[in-house]
Structure 1
Amino acid sequence: MMPESGRLAAILRSVTEAIVATDLQGAVTLMNPSAERLFETRSEAAAGLPLDRLHAGLGPWLDRARTEGVAQPMVFSLEVHSGHLYSATLSPVSGEDRAVSGWVVVLQDVTHLRRAEEWKSEAIQAATHDLRNPLNLMNGALNLLRDSLGELTLEQQECLTMLRSGLDRMGGLVEQVLSLEQVGRTDLPLAGLDLSAVARQAVEDFRLAADAKEITLAFEGGEGAGRVLGDESWLHRAVTNLVGNALKYTPRGGEVRVRYHEAGGEAVVEVADTGPGIPAAAQGRVFERFYRVPGESARRNPGTGLGLAIVKAIVERHSGRVWVSSEEGRGSTFGFAVPLAGPEALTAAPSTG
């Protein structure tokens, strides 16, 4: 029977994913053959080197994990060898006493998935563009019909209202799909921004809508001490999507609170509501395209299932992260964080392509 150490070595040799282990300080202690091929170095030569010597993109994630004391795996993307995209998972290594003794990174080549996503995006974008013309024609025809009919009966008014509502929903879906594709493809005109001011403005934009539902809408947090490097219109869209979503699902007389703070080198925005909450099984999918949490709330509040996907795309385009925490019957909190920019980045203010 193969000894345990030999079996572990055989497993590491067999897997196609690249695996790198480090000590608590982030010095490389082990690389499997797939990692050796990926980073073009032998395990013996890399032993003792800082993790970011293998790839500069690994360093910030390890620093963040060490600083924040992360207990759960962190998943991020890494581009290696001009165009090859890898999904990287950084996890703490702990013993029976649960004390972290090191870190392990597992990298999987997902280049083919990115290419498939690009092809899908191109097809969706082409289809939605082609839908715009017939929708515009139908809108024009409906307006002409309404103006030429003279005084309408109640039944005719209801029919035209139904048609208008259907066209508006379809038009909104087309625009949301185009927005989702656009944020991932266009260059963003970046500038130094006070994200707290963006969040505060989003709250004011929804003041009348909140009052109409007798919902308490409040902003909590002062002026941001730091600045983020971002596109103001897209970040405003991200916040308004979250606030609008919270107002939609919060019952009359409830509360929606938008909070801003800075921590760990990030600007953080959270939107908390007193809505119905989200089942634990659905929380991992709420940022997926077209996904809607099943249940009575979804039936009462029609939507496209794209609003949160747009938030995720915008935030990730700004090198940030999104999350949700929720408990059924007690409301939900959606949040995102984007990195605070240093003086050099604010001075250079390049566009992300």
Structure 2
Amino acid sequence: MFWKKKNRANFFKSIRVRLVLGYTVILLVGITAVSVYFSFQMKSRLIEVTKLYLTSEIEGAIDLLEDEESDELGISDFLSRHTRGIKGSHKIGYALFNDKGLILARSEGFLEDKKSVENMIDSYDKEGVSVERESTIRNPDKTIAYLVTRSFRGRAGDIFYLQFGATPFGHREAVNIFMRTGLLMIPVILLVGLVSGFILTSQFLSPISRLIKASNEIMLSDSVSAKDLPIRGVGDELDSLAVSFNNVLRKLRESYQKIILFTANASHEIRLPITAIKGEAEVVLERGRDIEEYRSVMESVVLEMDRLTRMINRLLYLSRGDSGMDKLDIKKVELMGLLSKMVEFYRVLTERKNIILDLSAKESSFFVQADHSKLEELFSNIIENAIRYTPENGSITIEIAKQKDKHVISISDTGIGIPEEEQGKIFERFYRVDKARSREDGGAGLGLSIAAMIVKMHKGEIKVKSQPNKGSVFTISLPRE
């Protein structure tokens, strides 16, 4: 078939098609509703005008009759002449009743409403006050006639009931013409709605089309090379959508660049110990060695393997954290006790370099809800960095304090410090201020990244202040229990 079922389904799934059809339907329903409303208003107004016209004419006729000294025949003759002489858009018929409800005279073809007259006779005021009643009656041709009945007294004191009626043929035709015109306009309205809806939706949805195009470019390219969507500056929702998309695209670019850099750095860092191991093995294989030389080579290999294992474990640690697989084992942890044990553990390393390692606090206990092993990893990375970059005869001070709804742990050292322009980068993976020295000391630039990730997992905050050749202060804030 020319238009397959699948194509039809996709066609009606299009936002543009649905908007155009919705716009057209709303336009059609709106105009139809307005047309129906105005036709009813016109009809109601025409009925009101007809009744006012009949009331005015019947009052004029009664005023004349009350001044005439005529019998029933004379009144009938007068009414016949009077109604024929009425000029207007309505053809008026009449009927004259006596006080018994009997018809004395009526115009040709007039269909009277006897029931209204009978009701008026029952309620007529004996003092002579006029009584008036409005009614409707359906003609044999299914049209509606509007009637006004009025009582009056003749010069002789007799009570009569005069009924005027009219069917607004011309007015009804005007309403019908209005309705037919509205129906004939439906195809035009549909055409205008479809064309204008297509133009408007094309204009409004063009940013979305560009967004789809940019998304496809991202999927088809090896890098996030798609250009930012232009901002029209109108300030509407589509501008907001373009801004949000550009922000997401910018984040993707940054993440992509970080992945490239991370892959390059990881490959480089892994290659170094492997190259060292390979070199040691090749040297051993060149000629025979004594036991001490073999021992020395194997110790070097083990050292490089330890370095490689440690780095791989840290990469896996970061990977689990990024993927959300690494869950926290939240328990009640007392910070003072935890840091006291860590200070004792690292005191052996600090004594080798004659570094003073001190822990102080104004209170004896500081409780947090945290993962105990992760806090150990966090503080180990910071303390090890402080020991690594603090020269001999220096000092490392750990302080704990309470501040409102958090505990603040500061770890300060008198080490080599960090230049101001480098301080914003030290939590990035594989970033090292002094790359050569870090390799010598076994660092791969992952410790502070892990520390920052752990702090973030605990909804805390980590900051650094440092001056070259004066030292650094790492401040860690953790929510209180």
Normalising by structure 1, we get a TM-score of 0.55
Q: Which residue of 2 aligns with 1:212?
A: 352
Conserved 8 A contact 1:195-1:224: no
- Identify if the C-alpha distance between structure 1 residues 264 and 295 changes in structure 2 by more than 3 Å, giving closer, same or farther: same
Q: Which residue of 2 aligns with 1:98?
A: none
Displacement, 1:277? 0.8
Measured in 1, the distance between the counterparts of 2:237 and 2:413 equals 46
Conserved 8 A contact 1:265-1:340: yes
Q: Which residue of 2 aligns with 1:168?
A: 306
Q: Which residue of 2 aligns with 1:289?
A: 429
Measured in 1, the distance between the counterparts of 2:427 and 2:239 equals 35
Q: 2:341 aligns with which of 167, 176, 201?
A: 201
SS in 1 for 2:358: strand
- Residues 275-306 of structure 1 show CA distances to partners (whole Å, capped at 9, x for unaligned) of 11111111110110000003664465341100
Q: Which has the larger radius of gyration?
A: 2
Measured in 1, the distance between the counterparts of 2:253 and 2:333 equals 30
Measured in 1, the distance between the counterparts of 2:371 and 2:314 equals 18
| Paired residue type of 2:291 | L
Normalising by structure 2, we get a TM-score of 0.41
Conserved 8 A contact 2:429-2:445: yes
- Residues 131-184 of structure 1 show CA distances to partners (whole Å, capped at 9, x for unaligned) of 9xxx9xx9xxx9xx9xxx996043x33322222222111111101111222334
- Identify if the C-alpha distance between structure 1 residues 334 and 263 changes in structure 2 by more than 3 Å, giving closer, same or farther: same
Find out whether 1:329 has 2:469 as its counterpart. yes
| Paired residue type of 1:179 | Y
Aligned length: 232
Q: Which residue of 1 aligns with 2:321?
A: 183
Conserved 8 A contact 1:221-1:260: yes
Please, which runs of 5 or more residues in structure 1 have no aligned partner?
A: 1-13, 17-31, 39-85, 87-106, 342-353
SS in 1 for 2:425: coil
Conserved 8 A contact 2:415-2:469: yes
| Paired residue type of 1:270 | S
| Paired residue type of 1:173 | M
| Paired residue type of 1:262 | K
Conserved 8 A contact 2:418-2:433: yes
- Identify if the C-alpha distance between structure 1 residues 35 and 216 changes in structure 2 by more than 3 Å, giving closer, same or farther: farther
Find out whether 1:152 has 2:291 as its counterpart. yes
Q: Which residue of 2 aligns with 1:310?
A: 450
Measured in 1, the distance between the counterparts of 2:347 and 2:328 equals 29
Measured in 1, the distance between the counterparts of 2:412 and 2:477 equals 15
Q: Which residue of 2 aligns with 1:230?
A: 370
Percent identity over the alignment? 27
SS in 1 for 2:472: strand
Conserved 8 A contact 1:210-1:217: yes
Measured in 1, the distance between the counterparts of 2:440 and 2:254 equals 37
Measured in 2, the distance between the counterparts of 1:310 and 1:35 equals 39
Conserved 8 A contact 2:336-2:365: no
- Identify if the C-alpha distance between structure 1 residues 158 and 262 changes in structure 2 by more than 3 Å, giving closer, same or farther: same
Conserved 8 A contact 2:307-2:442: no
Measured in 2, the distance between the counterparts of 1:108 and 1:339 equals 31
Q: Which residue of 1 aligns with 2:361?
A: 221
The one of the two structures with greater contact order (alpha-carbon pairs below 8 A, sep at least 6) is: 1
- Identify if the C-alpha distance between structure 1 residues 297 and 188 changes in structure 2 by more than 3 Å, giving closer, same or farther: same
Q: CA RMSD in A?
A: 4.2
Q: Which residue of 2 aligns with 1:26?
A: none
Conserved 8 A contact 2:335-2:365: no
SS in 2 for 1:220: strand
SS in 2 for 1:332: strand
Q: 2:416 aligns with which of 263, 266, 276?
A: 276
Measured in 2, the distance between the counterparts of 1:198 and 1:33 equals 54
Measured in 2, the distance between the counterparts of 1:328 and 1:225 equals 34
- Identify if the C-alpha distance between structure 1 residues 300 and 111 changes in structure 2 by more than 3 Å, giving closer, same or farther: closer
SS in 2 for 1:206: helix
Displacement, 1:109? 4.6
Measured in 2, the distance between the counterparts of 1:199 and 1:215 equals 17
Displacement, 1:205? 1.7
Displacement, 1:222? 4.4
Higher strand share: 1
- Residues 55-78 of structure 1 show CA distances to partners (whole Å, capped at 9, x for unaligned) of xxxxxxxxxxxxxxxxxxxxxxxx
- Identify if the C-alpha distance between structure 1 residues 214 and 115 changes in structure 2 by more than 3 Å, giving closer, same or farther: closer
- Identify if the C-alpha distance between structure 1 residues 266 and 306 changes in structure 2 by more than 3 Å, giving closer, same or farther: same
Conserved 8 A contact 1:323-1:336: yes
Displacement, 1:202? 1.8
Q: Which residue of 1 aligns with 2:75?
A: none
- Identify if the C-alpha distance between structure 1 residues 229 and 108 changes in structure 2 by more than 3 Å, giving closer, same or farther: farther
Displacement, 1:111? 9.9
Q: Which residue of 2 aligns with 1:252?
A: 392
Measured in 1, the distance between the counterparts of 2:479 and 2:253 equals 24
Displacement, 1:314? 0.3
SS in 2 for 1:228: strand
Alignment of 1:1-353 (within 5 A): 108-109=247-248, 113=252, 152-154=291-293, 156-184=294-322, 185=324, 186-223=326-363, 226-294=366-434, 297-298=437-438, 300-341=440-481
SS in 2 for 1:199: helix
- Identify if the C-alpha distance between structure 1 residues 115 and 202 changes in structure 2 by more than 3 Å, giving closer, same or farther: same
Measured in 2, the distance between the counterparts of 1:248 and 1:232 equals 24
